[in-house]
A = this chain, B = another copy of it.
Amino acid sequence: MSESEFDIIKTYFTHIGESPDWLDTGIGDDAAILHTHPQEQLLISIDTLNAGVHFADDTPPENIAYKALAVNISDIAAMGGQPTWFTLALSLPEVDHGWLKNFCSGLLEVATKYNLKLIGGDTTRGPLSITIQIAGVIPNGKALCRSGAKPGDDIYVTGTLGDAAAGLILQQQHLKKYNSQQQILIDSLRRPSPRVDVGRALRELATACIDVSDGLASDLGHILEASSTGENRLGAELNLTLIPLSESLQQSGLGLDMQNELALQGGDDYELCFTAPPSEQTAIETISQQADCRISKIGTTILEPGLFIIDKGQRKAIMKKGFDHFGAA
């Protein structure tokens, strides 16, 4: 290990993303220097992925990078923001140039796709760990918070749910080969597609928004909790048949009950879950068409605490099981 930290940063990280006009000094000094616009607020989020916890040790490095950046972008998308820059703290057990090259190609792919600039970083020796701090911008006062849902709002989700959780099950089976539907599920886990365009379009429409990282039940629960005020405890009633399942999940060989369980409780989908008054339904259908993104109305918020699901005419309370980083040990 003869490479210095300085060389690694220079070789691999200075070129990630186009140099934007707001970046006055990028990588190479004690801090990056940038300016902001007075009509915009900054959105700031940080997320870590650790080997063996958030991804399997044998995950290809380009997929690790892809996911590490994508999950951060998803946080900005959930606020209705435009992701703009990120910093990277990378701990590596050793300097492996093949690994770094592939890691950077994944990072570059996402940064280019979402027009993001890497403005600073730190590489250190340690167990494999990737921390990304992301920033986005949003016009003043337009951010979508978790706290704005009102009783009687419709509840929507983008895309389909449960795919990443099914991909995780498949990945843990260590099959030698995946068919095309299985590969789609695996890709959902490894290369999530944050919904930046939909999030931006929802700025004027949604009352609350979150990204589905820990599972629909858990994340919708955060909206209900944050939107409850005083004695007005907010709950939700979902219609099971309206929860969107992908063709890949339906053809996965998993039973229908398991498919529904994964869609309700599985994490890592990085779809958006949001609430909006019924009057916005047509506008939301237009957003769905313009962004070429399925958006499903799955239920409504109610003035009764708890999460209920309508299944074959029966109303059942469901528990929030969502992924807990510490509980999962």
**A residues within 8 Å of B by Cβ?**
1-5, 8, 24-25, 28-38, 41-54, 75-76, 78-79, 81, 85, 87-89, 91-92, 94-95, 119-127, 129, 131, 133-134, 136, 138, 140, 143, 145-147, 209-211, 226, 324-329
Chain B: which residue is nearest A213 at the CB level? B30
Q: Copies per complex?
A: 2
A122–chain B nearest beta-carbon distance, Å? 5
Find out whether the CB atom of B327 lies under 8 angstroms from the CB atom of A1.
yes
| A87-B133 in contact (CB<8A) | yes
Pick 23 A–B contacts, CB within 8 A, sort by A: A2-B326, A4-B327, A5-B325, A24-B143, A25-B143, A28-B146, A29-B145, A30-B146, A31-B43, A31-B45, A33-B42, A33-B143, A34-B44, A36-B38, A44-B119, A46-B131, A47-B122, A50-B125, A53-B126, A122-B131, A125-B328, A125-B329, A131-B131
**Once bound together, how far apart are the Cα atoms of A27 and B325, in whole Å?**
18
Nearest CB of B to A131, in Å: 4
Q: Are B24 and A32 in contact (CB under 8 A)?
A: no
* Chain B residues in 8 Å Cβ range of A44: 31-34, 85, 87, 119-120
Which residues of the other chain, B, contact A43 by a CB distance below 8 angstroms? 31-33
Q: How far is the CA of A28 from the CA of B328 in the complex (A)?
A: 22
**A146 nearest CB neighbor, chain B only:** B29
Please give me the 10 A-B residue pairs with the lowest Cβ-Cβ distance, nearest first: A50-B126, A133-B133, A31-B45, A31-B43, A30-B78, A38-B38, A46-B87, A127-B127, A131-B131, A89-B131
List the B residue with the shortest CB-CB distance to A5.
Answer: B325
Roughly how many angstroms separate A59 CA and B249 CA in the complex, as a whole number? 48
Q: Distance in Å from the Cβ of A101 to the closest Cβ of chain B?
A: 16
Query: A239: shortest Cβ distance to chain B, in Å?
Result: 26
